């Protein structure tokens, strides 16, 4: 073993995780599921940014009705709902004119990324991804965003984490580009942050794949195979989550909705380029995991070949010795060598010389 480069320790993969309830599901989308099956979040946090070029009001609420005072006017409103509660979603939808079909999508569970335009509102739904380093898994949170006249409403499932702090900090800076721009630029900023975070998740997963490339030649055992299967599942989950987002952004670019200004189109095209890169990178990682499986099987076969080679060499070395021992082990009374005084030692010496000669011959031929 190379002492300069020690084995890399990967966190143990829970082999029985599939038998317990968890957030991650790969093939779980069923559009016929009634949204009423969603359980209300135990904690709901509503953050409102009501701003224009000269002013900013940042408010925190727990009830949707408290946000109604921020409707209307010429300021831009960003209402971010952390924690899905059916009553809050219904109240916000009615007040801001969000179509019931879009409300069903917001309340859906495991929905595929999509984009819709109904009643002068633009709706998009996509996954927000996180990497859990403790279990080396990719976790998904469904994010829904509604763009209307001078407002953006975003809905998140998990109130304890998101990736929007960068947007909040930019809004708190007076005369920032985000404060000067209309609501569609805010929607772009939110999409851009989510898509850029995909690359952080991809980088973490890529590190695990590179670690496995170092481990497989040194430890091609069942534990390593479990890690490879785990990575294969994560790349499949990541690919399934990222791929539909491309059509979401493409749909926004092709939209003729009056809510989208012409000078904002180039920003959405930049997000489209990023999601294509993320999608290609996910494909590359999936191919790399397939190569890891092939490398594992190759290493396993090489290991088995080495074992078979060693057994073959030992069997070949012992064959002539077994023959000699078999001959002199026959129970015949009339054998000339049986009466020799030092016949036992002569026989052992001859067997040792034959064994040594065969070992030297094999070593010269580089058979082992």
**Residues 80-119: pLDDT tens digits?**
999 998 999 999 999 999 999 999 999 988 888 999 999 8
Residue 180 backbone phi and psi in degrees, to 5: -85, -20
Domain segments of the chain as ranges: 17-299, 328-364
Yes or no: say if 104 and 35 are a contact pair by the CB < 8 Å rule. Answer: yes
5 pLDDT band (50/70/90 cuts)?
very low
Task: Find the mean pLDDT for residues 26-41.
Answer: 60
DSSP assignment string, 115-153: EEEETTEEEEEEEEEEEETTTTEEEEEEEEEEEETTEEE
Yes or no: say if 144 and 123 are a contact pair by the CB < 8 Å rule. Answer: yes
Q: What residues does 46 pair with on adjacent strands? A: 61, 81
Question: Mind listing the pLDDT tens digit for each residue in 193-213?
Answer: 999 999 999 999 999 998 888
pLDDT score of 247 more than 80: yes
pLDDT score of 315 more than 80: yes
Yes or no: say if 44 and 62 are a contact pair by the CB < 8 Å rule. Answer: yes
Query: Which carries the bigger pLDDT value, residue 174 or residue 168?
Result: 168
DSSP assignment string, 177-216: HHHHS-HHHHHHHHHHHHHHHHHHHHHHHHHHHHHHHHHT
CB-based contacts of 258, cutoff 8 Å, min separation 6: 120
198, 224, 73, 205: which is closest to 143 by C-alpha?
198
Yes or no: say if 217 and 167 are a contact pair by the CB < 8 Å rule. Answer: no
Question: Mind listing the pLDDT tens digit for each residue in 337-359?
Answer: 777 778 788 888 888 898 898 88
pLDDT score of 155 more than 80: yes
* CA separation for the pair 352, 193 (Å, rounded): 75
CA distances from 328 to 322, 323, 355 (A): 10, 9, 17
Task: Provide the token pair at 57.
Answer: 């009001």
How high is the pLDDT of residue 24?
A: 52
Kind of pairing, strands 76-82 and 151-156?
A: parallel
How high is the pLDDT of residue 25?
A: 54
How high is the pLDDT of residue 19?
A: 37
Question: Mind listing the pLDDT tens digit for each residue in 249-298?
Answer: 999 999 988 999 989 999 999 999 999 999 999 999 999 999 988 888 88
30 pLDDT band (50/70/90 cuts)?
low
Token pair 């002199």 is found at: 328
Tally Cβ neighbours within 10 Å of residue 216. 22
Q: What residues does 297 pair with on adjacent strands? A: none
Task: Find the mean pLDDT for residues 27-52.
Answer: 74
CA distances from 130 to 81, 152, 168 (A): 19, 23, 19
CATH architecture of structural domain 17-299: 2-Layer Sandwich (3.30)
How high is the pLDDT of residue 9?
A: 47
CB-based contacts of 287, cutoff 8 Å, min separation 6: none
How high is the pLDDT of residue 335?
A: 74
Residue 281 backbone phi and psi in degrees, to 5: -65, -40
Q: What is the mean pLDDT of the chain?
A: 85
Yes or no: say if 93 and 68 are a contact pair by the CB < 8 Å rule. Answer: no
* CA separation for the pair 21, 29 (Å, rounded): 16
pLDDT score of 10 more than 80: no
pLDDT score of 368 more than 70: yes
Q: What residues does 125 pair with on adjacent strands? A: 114, 144
Q: How far apart are the first and last CA of the chain?
A: 19
CB-based contacts of 356, cutoff 8 Å, min separation 6: none
Tally Cβ neighbours within 10 Å of residue 360. 10
Yes or no: say if 193 and 269 are a contact pair by the CB < 8 Å rule. Answer: no
How high is the pLDDT of residue 14?
A: 46
pLDDT score of 214 more than 80: yes
Question: Mind listing the pLDDT tens digit for each residue in 44-84?
Answer: 899 999 999 989 999 999 888 888 888 878 899 999 999 99
Yes or no: say if 179 and 52 are a contact pair by the CB < 8 Å rule. Answer: yes
How high is the pLDDT of residue 317?
A: 87
Helices 183-215/245-254 angle, 10° precision: 150
Question: Mind listing the pLDDT tens digit for each residue in 248-259?
Answer: 999 999 998 899
31 pLDDT band (50/70/90 cuts)?
low
175 pLDDT band (50/70/90 cuts)?
confident
How high is the pLDDT of residue 22?
A: 46
Task: Provide the token pair at 204.
Answer: 């973490």
Instruction: Specify the range with the lowest mean pLDDT, choosing from 44-53, 135-144, 184-193, 331-340.
Output: 331-340
Token pair 């960003």 is found at: 78
């Amino acid at each position: 073993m190379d002492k300069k480069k020690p084995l890399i320790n990967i966190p143990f993969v829970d082999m029985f995780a599939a038998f317990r309830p968890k957030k991650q599901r790969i093939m779980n989308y069923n559009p016929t599921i009634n949204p009423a099956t969603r359980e209300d979040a135990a904690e709901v946090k509503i953050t409102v940014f009501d701003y224009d070029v000269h002013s900013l009001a940042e408010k925190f609420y727990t009830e949707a009705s408290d946000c109604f005072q921020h409707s209307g006017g010429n300021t831009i409103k960003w209402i971010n709902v952390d924690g899905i509660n059916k009553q809050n979603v219904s109240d916000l939808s009615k007040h801001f004119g969000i179509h019931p079909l879009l409300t069903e999508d917001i309340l859906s569970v495991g929905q595929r990324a999509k984009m819709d335009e109904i009643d002068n509102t633009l709706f998009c739904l996509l996954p927000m991804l996180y990497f859990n380093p403790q279990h080396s898994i990719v976790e998904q949170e469904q994010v829904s965003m509604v763009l209307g006249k001078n407002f953006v409403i975003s809905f998140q499932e998990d109130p304890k984490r998101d990736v929007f702090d960068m947007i909040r900090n930019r809004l708190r800076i007076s005369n920032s580009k985000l404060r000067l721009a209309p609501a569609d630029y805010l929607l772009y900023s939110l999409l851009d942050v989510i898509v850029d975070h995909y690359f952080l998740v991809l980088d973490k997963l890529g590190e695990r794949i590179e670690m496995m490339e170092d481990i497989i030649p040194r430890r091609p055992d069942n534990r390593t195979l479990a890690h490879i299967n785990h990575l294969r599942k994560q790349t499949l989950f990541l690919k399934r989550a990222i791929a539909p987002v491309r059509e979401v952004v493409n749909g926004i670019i092709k939209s003729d909705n009056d809510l989208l200004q012409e000078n904002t189109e180039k920003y959405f095209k930049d997000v489209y380029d990023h999601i294509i890169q993320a999608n290609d990178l996910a494909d590359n990682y999936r191919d790399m995991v397939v190569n890891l499986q092939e490398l594992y099987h190759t290493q396993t076969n090489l290991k088995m070949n080495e074992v078979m080679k060693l057994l073959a060499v030992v069997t070949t070395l012992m064959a002539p010795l077994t023959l000699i021992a078999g001959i002199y082990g026959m129970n015949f009374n009339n054998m000339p060598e049986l009466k020799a005084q030092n016949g036992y030692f002569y026989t052992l010496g001859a067997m040792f010389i034959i064994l040594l000669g065969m070992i030297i011959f094999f070593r010269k031929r580089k058979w082992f």
